[in-house]
């Protein structure tokens, strides 16, 4: 259910998706897909209907509540005891056809506290590889997202100030030699 509904639920707050479009975008197994659809319908999470020549899946109120429980809103990055002085840089190149999904990624990175260096380059001070990998996987962007570790970023004083203001970094984290 998460894989089917979340990108559309998060992107537009429109709770409807064409099954034909979904199958074309995801290139998943049709039989498995429709088995899941039948299961979610029996659970009361979705309704099916036909409009024109397309079959649509629409999220019910029960489905919306369930989705909120399992969605990306639960994703958090834990803070270590001390910052290692390294930056985690997330770079992505998501095609225009996936604009809504790209916007979900940007929004979630900002919610997690990432600092935007450019439209598709974000930075964070703590280890976040597992969380970003999970986010990329859930949004079907695995091959479009790259994570790097950097020790120096030009203009990092501004970035550090931003993380201090958001209480992501603490003054005690800056007591390393290069930040005095």
Q: What does the pLDDT read at residue 58?
A: 82
**Total length of the chain:** 180
Q: What does the pLDDT read at residue 49?
A: 82
Q: What does the pLDDT read at residue 179?
A: 54
pTM: 0.64
Q: What does the pLDDT read at residue 137?
A: 82
Q: What does the pLDDT read at residue 159?
A: 96
- Which are the contacts of 161, defined by CB distance < 8 A and separation ≥ 6? none
For the chain, give every domain's residue range. 2-72, 77-179
Q: What is the mean pLDDT of the chain?
A: 82
Q: What does the pLDDT read at residue 166?
A: 95
Which CATH number does the domain 77-179 belong to among 3.90.1150.10, 3.40.50.300, 3.30.70.240, 3.40.50.10190?
3.30.70.240
Q: Tell me whether domains 2-72 and 77-179 share a fold.
A: no
- Which are the contacts of 147, defined by CB distance < 8 A and separation ≥ 6? 88, 89, 90, 91, 128, 129, 132, 133
Q: What does the pLDDT read at residue 12?
A: 41
Thinking of the domain 2-72, which architecture would CATH place it in? Orthogonal Bundle (1.10)
- For 40-59, the DSSP string reads HHHHTSEEEEEETTEEEEEE
Q: Please identify every stretch of the chain with a pLDDT value under 50, giving residue numbers as ranges.
A: 2, 7-14, 177, 180
- pLDDT, one tens digit per residue, over 83-108 is 999 999 999 999 998 888 898 899 99
Nearest to 147 by CA among 168, 162, 126, 173: 126
Q: What does the pLDDT read at residue 99?
A: 87
């Amino acid at each position: 259910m998460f894989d089917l509904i979340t990108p559309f639920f998060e992107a537009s707050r429109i709770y409807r998706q064409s099954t034909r479009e979904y199958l074309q975008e995801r290139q998943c197994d049709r039989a498995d897909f429709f088995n899941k659809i039948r299961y979610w319908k029996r659970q009361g999470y979705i309704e099916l209907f036909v409009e024109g020549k397309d079959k649509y899946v629409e999220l019910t109120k029960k489905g919306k509540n369930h989705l909120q429980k399992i969605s990306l809103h639960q994703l958090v990055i834990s803070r270590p005891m001390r910052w290692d002085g390294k930056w985690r840089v997330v770079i992505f190149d998501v095609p225009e056809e996936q604009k809504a999904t790209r916007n979900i990624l940007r929004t979630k990175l900002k919610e997690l506290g990432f600092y935007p260096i450019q439209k598709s380059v974000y930075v964070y001070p703590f280890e976040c590889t597992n969380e970003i990998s999970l986010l990329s996987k859930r949004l079907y962007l695995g091959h479009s997202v790259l994570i790097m570790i950097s020790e120096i970023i030009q203009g990092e004083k501004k970035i550090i100030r931003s993380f201090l203001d958001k209480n992501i970094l603490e003054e005690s984290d800056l007591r390393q030699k290069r930040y005095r």
